[in-house]
């Protein structure tokens, strides 16, 4: 399924929260992404509250619910809003979540006085987003990272297997691995350069590994989605029901230690090269808000196999994909010191992914694996067909191009560094670098809907 267009998507809607009417805002009334903010007033205390973002403000939903503005029949919603994460809210039936969204849009539009007229409540429930401490929106107990971009897979495969970049299974199933949930951190958290085993040369023949700080630190531009309602152990989620189990989307930076990864990933795949940190944005854009930006899934080559029947349904819908524009920016410590704005390194789009979010979720559960509310699934690096759309430095600074016509002749190891405004150069990340991910959807006839930012600064390796 995909959610239908309804009154909440009307581009003519205006909010009495004036900042939400700014055409450049990520958070118009048509969006209302969820987040969790700590509203504690005393040092050492915590008071997490479920909120939605509206313009440059946050709205505390517990305060709104406690005032009786969500309706007498919404007891389950009111109960879910009393918790400190989105887990219980996300697990509610789809109709309940849609009803909550419609009511919140109604309360925040300029045609309704139900909330706006209560000045005392507004003074308590509505507060500035700037300076608010935003927390992880879910208690993430499981995290799976996919490899859903055929462009990314082909680029990386070409570096290490130039004669066979795409393995036979890639176009038959969404490849993924089980990541580490405990090291998921909220945007703005610093990320320490990991330690690990590093080879002194290209292969073990050049000498044994040594233990030390990662030298090839990288980011990965990804989109994540959180599971809402789960499934029972032993029962899979069918492709035509998958989106009913997806609560919303966020931005993900799955930091990677490329030199550690190169040594450890065979035969079982990523381990310590990925588990040291994964950054997520604080705002969860509900799938319902993205209805105007749905599109067909990526068109596959006529030579590619058709997915097996349990993964096929999403390919035949006009709304299998999502037209979500993404970009990566970087600011070195020297740039920030000199007051130089971050520079854009690359831009991509989620619609260029070979596998859709529904296919990823269905495949994950197809063996009977039980998904739970708050489980995080990430797309893998979002890369496109052009060099400027590559979603990590491993690809972006690489001089090879398997999609060039004709292909370039440079060896796969050749790299051209990125030049920063300060004269600095980067093939991989340096200590002090800040990586910023952004995402937004836009389409003629609808309001722009944004995802906020996902930020992280690289700190030097510890002991």
Q: Where in the chain is the domain with CATH 3.90.850.10?
A: 143-459
Instruction: Assign residue 71 a region (left: φ > 0; alpha: ψ between -120 and 50; beta: otherwise).
Output: left
User: Can you read off the two tokens belonging to residue 362?
Assistant: 């269905």
Q: How far is CA 238 from CA 51, 92, 414, in A?
A: 31, 19, 44
Instruction: Answer yes or no: is pLDDT of 240 > 60.
Output: yes
| DSSP one-letter code for 389 | G
What are 390-441's pLDDT values in tens digits? 999 999 999 887 776 555 544 446 899 999 999 999 999 999 999 999 999 9
- Taking residues 58-86, what's their average pLDDT? 91
pLDDT of residue 411: 46
**How many Å apart are CA 29 and CA 55, to the nearest integer?**
8
Residue among 449, 53, 457, 437 at smallest CA distance from 281: 437
**Rounded-to-integer distance, Cα 174 and Cα 123, Å:** 48
Predicted confidence band of residue 72 (pLDDT cuts 50, 70, 90): low
Q: What is the pLDDT of residue 3?
A: 86
The number of angstroms, rounded, from the C-alpha of 41 to the middle of its chain's C-alpha atoms is 30
Dump pLDDT digits (tens) for 289-302.
Answer: 999 999 999 999 99
Q: What is the mean pLDDT of residues 5-25?
A: 97
Confidence of residue 315 (pLDDT cuts 50, 70, 90): low
Q: What mean pLDDT value characterizes the chain?
A: 94
pLDDT on residue 405: 52
In the DSSP assignment, the letter for residue 17 is: S
Q: What is the pLDDT of residue 354?
A: 96
Contact 269, 177 (CB under 8 A): yes
pTM score of the predicted model = 0.95
* CA angle centred on 377, ends 371 and 379, rounded to 5°: 145
Q: What CA–CA distance (Å, rounded) separates 284 from 452?
A: 9
Whether the ω angle into residue 267 lies within 30 degrees of 0, i.e. cis, is yes
Give the number of other CB atoms < 10 A from CB of residue 240.
13
User: Comparing 329 with 402, which gets the higher pLDDT?
Assistant: 329
Residues in the chain: 463
Question: What CATH superfamily classification does 7-135 receive?
Answer: Fumarylacetoacetase, N-terminal domain (2.30.30.230)
The reported pLDDT for the residue numbered 161 is: 81
Selection from 397, 429, 400, 425 nearest residue 412 by Cα: 400
Mean predicted confidence (pLDDT) in 330-347: 98
**pLDDT for res 221:** 98
pLDDT value at residue 342: 98
Which are the catalytic amino acids? 152
**CATH of segment(s) 143-459:** 3.90.850.10
What pLDDT digit, counting tens, does each position of 74-117 carry?
Answer: 789 999 999 999 999 999 999 999 999 999 999 999 999 999 99
Could you tell me which of 29, 3, 215, 211 has the C-alpha nearest to residue 110?
29
Cβ atoms 378, 146 nearer than 8 A: yes
Cβ proximity of 93 and 229 under 8 Å: yes
Region(s) of the chain under CATH 2.30.30.230? 7-135
């Amino acid at each position: 399924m995909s959610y239908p267009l309804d009154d909440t998507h009307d581009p003519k809607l205006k909010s009495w929260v004036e900042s939400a009417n700014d055409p450049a805002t990520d958070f118009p009334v048509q969006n209302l992404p969820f987040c969790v903010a700590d509203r504690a007033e005393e040092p050492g205390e915590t008071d997490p509250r479920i909120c939605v973002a509206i313009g440059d403000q946050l709205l505390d939903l517990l305060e709104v619910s406690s005032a009786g503005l969500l309706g007498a029949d919404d007891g389950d919603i009111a109960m879910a809003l009393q918790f400190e994460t989105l887990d219980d809210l996300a697990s509610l039936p789809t109709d309940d979540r849609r009803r909550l969204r419609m009511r919140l849009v109604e309360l925040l539009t300029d045609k309704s006085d139900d909330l706006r007229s209560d000045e005392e409540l507004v003074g308590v429930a509505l507060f500035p987003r700037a300076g608010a401490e935003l927390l992880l929106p879910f208690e993430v107990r499981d995290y799976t990272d996919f490899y859903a971009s055929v462009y990314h897979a082909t680029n990386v495969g070409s570096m290490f297997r130039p004669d066979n970049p795409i393995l036979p299974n890639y176009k038959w199933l969404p490849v993924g691995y089980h990541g580490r949930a405990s090291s998921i951190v909220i945007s703005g958290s610093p990320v320490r350069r990991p330690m690990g085993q590093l080879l002194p040369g290209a292969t073990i023949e050049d000498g044994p590994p040594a233990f030390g700080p990662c030298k090839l630190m990288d980011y990965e531009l990804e989109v994540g989605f959180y599971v809402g309602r789960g499934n029972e152990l032993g029962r899979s989620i069918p492709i035509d029901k998958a989106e009913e189990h997806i609560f919303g989307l966020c931005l993900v930076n799955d930091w990677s230690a490329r030199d550690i990864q190169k040594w450890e990933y065979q035969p079982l795949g990523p381990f310590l090269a990925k588990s040291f940190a994964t950054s997520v944005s604080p705002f969860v854009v509900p799938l319902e808000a993205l209805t105007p930006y749905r599109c067909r899934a990526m068109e596959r080559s006529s030579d590619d196999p058709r997915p097996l029947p349990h993964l096929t349904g999403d390919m035949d819908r006009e709304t299998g994909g999502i037209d979500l524009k993404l970009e990566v920016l970087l600011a070195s410590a020297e740039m920030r010191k000199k007051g130089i704005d971050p520079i854009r390194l690359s831009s991509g789009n989620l619609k260029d992914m070979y596998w859709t979010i529904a296919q990823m979720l269905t495949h994950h559960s197809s063996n009977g694996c039980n998904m739970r509310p708050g489980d995080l699934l990430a797309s893998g690096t979002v890369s496109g067909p052009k060099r400027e759309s590559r979603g990590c430095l491993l690809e972006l600074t690489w001089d090879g191009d398997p999609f060039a016509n004709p292909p370039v002749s440079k060896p796969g190891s050749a790299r051209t560094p990125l030049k920063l405004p300060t004269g600095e150069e980067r093939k991989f990340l340096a200590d002090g670098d800040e990586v910023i991910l952004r995402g937004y959807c836009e389409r003629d006839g609808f309001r722009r809907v944004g995802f906020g930012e996902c930020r992280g600064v690289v700190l030097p390796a510890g002991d």
